[in-house]
Structure 1
């Protein structure tokens, strides 16, 4: 943002996924800003801090930086600042960060802290420390309660666990929107086409993004330049029936014909239908795929009835 607010109410965090817990926190920031007659601000980072500190660390992210920016702006926050996280920034203590970044750079007068958020070198300090530094610097530090669903705290790590076990329905409830992957459609092994189920093989644009557990999923698919969402079925796995070893993400778009190789496709997950299985013959796999398709179509019909 070109024009920095002076003063403002802010929150800070990595905000991976911008889930319902994050939006609960941001709503608190907006409400506090309105009460105080100040602007509201979200401060986040372009890189996962651990990725900067540990070169071999591969984060399992819930969204790309582009998606995070879009989701954060959709909250209606007045100002969004995305800091470039580097080793120099990682060396700042919590107090130095509050002084140099929050106070001097962004004129923060009130800081709303998420229930589990820690920042500063080695993340060794907590809310009481931040509150004490805030008193010294003239920044009021406010603690935000956790947002819960059915008694469970909503967090990025909890959502990752759900996606890792294929519990997409629950993950989507915690996110507040369908979990989505995006990538370029590349050439595959063509087995699906031979079985009457041509698939778009997805090459992820962001290899750090978390891939759901192996299995067959009901999904919606959309070409990047299109506004139309198509129903589909996606298989994530190693193609064990054909002796595969590498994980592939293959989407059969229902009632769709056309060459989309090289195009960007985004796939939103609706529900996991079954685990990946090895079949004795391709014809046995084809019969199962017909059942999967029927089940997925029924699932979408139920969604349409409820909408």
Structure 2
């Protein structure tokens, strides 16, 4: 996948546009349709996206709670085998463009011959415009406009669910990481660096690595205890992770992300680490004593090792 605004070998392409936060199953289904349309027309396939959430550009204090950072999003888009990722800097000038003006930019500057529109997608400063308007503008510009088939996810005998980034964010806020993974198509993960913590875990027999997430806009799941996989130095480990404020230890207002890595004992400070979430096991609790906390940690360890062994 070629990444950039304009690549040296930009070929005429079929494209779709969106922020694609999470690059979830719905996004992948849309991109699959772009690739199919491109193959039928003998064109390249493209995704047009933005490095920064458009609303954050227009509203500096907006906190988007991203499912994926820009780098993570690009890596996931590359897995779709789309030919180009056209990365546009969203600016106030772009925000002021009408849908027709924006389509003209895509046609003239980026050689987009056909545009696949998501079934509920709107763009341009006038959000009252819809698919029929885009088709008309396309005819005027010499650009084909195609309506994407909608995607819905059905689990077993349950009702179909529309997959969206906002639905996945809600699930993560509620701690439902395993259900979020079904909609994402992969386990939700956090990337960051191991930093020094309070060093209490080692004293009570459960040493932890403290993760500092690289992007402050990355969403953190609900507070509580989780079964996780830990990726460190190219190796995969099982672990039990806690997100929260450590109420039993009364460590103040700082929210921490701590993981006890099974069968591991090494200095990992200042090293990059990825944590992928498998299942939420319990909420964060305040215990009456350190002894009660240690007893619960042993129970957590046994339960989580059983989960990861499944």
TM above 0.5, yes or no, is yes
Contact 2:47/2:86 (<8 A) preserved: yes
Give the aligned partner of residue 157 of structure 2.
none
CA distance in 1, matches of 2:268, 2:127: 46
Corresponding residue to 2:264 among 223, 231, 256? 256
Give the aligned partner of residue 80 of structure 1.
85
**3-state SS of paired residue (2:295):** helix
**3-state SS of paired residue (1:121):** coil
Give the aligned partner of residue 148 of structure 2.
144
Contact 1:109/1:140 (<8 A) preserved: yes
Moved more, 146-155 or 46-55: 146-155
CA distance in 2, matches of 1:114, 1:192: 48
2:211 is the counterpart of 1:206: no
The residue correspondences of 1:4-153 to structure 2 (distance < 5 A) are 4-100=9-105, 102-121=106-125, 123-150=127-154, 151-153=160-162
Q: Deviations over 1:132-174 (max 9, x none)?
A: 2112111121111221112001111111011010000110011
CA distance in 2, matches of 1:63, 1:184: 16
CA RMSD between the two structures: 1.2
- Residue segments in structure 2 that go unaligned for 5+ positions in a row: 155-159
Corresponding residue to 2:242 among 229, 235, 239? 235
Contact 1:4/1:106 (<8 A) preserved: no
- Residue segments in structure 1 that go unaligned for 5+ positions in a row: 303-307
CA distance in 1, matches of 2:297, 2:242: 10
Contact 1:185/1:260 (<8 A) preserved: yes
TM-score when normalising by structure 2? 0.93
Moved more, 29-38 or 86-95: 86-95
Q: Deviations over 1:174-208 (max 9, x none)?
A: 11111010111111112222211111111110110
CA distance in 2, matches of 1:129, 1:191: 61
**3-state SS of paired residue (2:119):** coil
Shift of 1:52: 0.3
CA distance in 2, matches of 1:123, 1:237: 39
Q: Deviations over 1:113-141 (max 9, x none)?
A: 11222211264432222122112111121
CA distance in 2, matches of 1:8, 1:167: 38
Total equivalences in the alignment: 299
Runs (4 or more) in structure 1 with deviation over 3 Å come to: 3-6
CA distance in 1, matches of 2:144, 2:126: 23
Corresponding residue to 1:286 among 264, 276, 294? 294
CA distance in 1, matches of 2:202, 2:127: 51
2:226 is the counterpart of 1:221: no
Q: Deviations over 1:31-82 (max 9, x none)?
A: 0111111111111111100000111101110011111111111111111111
**3-state SS of paired residue (1:32):** helix
**3-state SS of paired residue (1:222):** strand
Shift of 1:3: 3.2
Shift of 1:4: 4.5
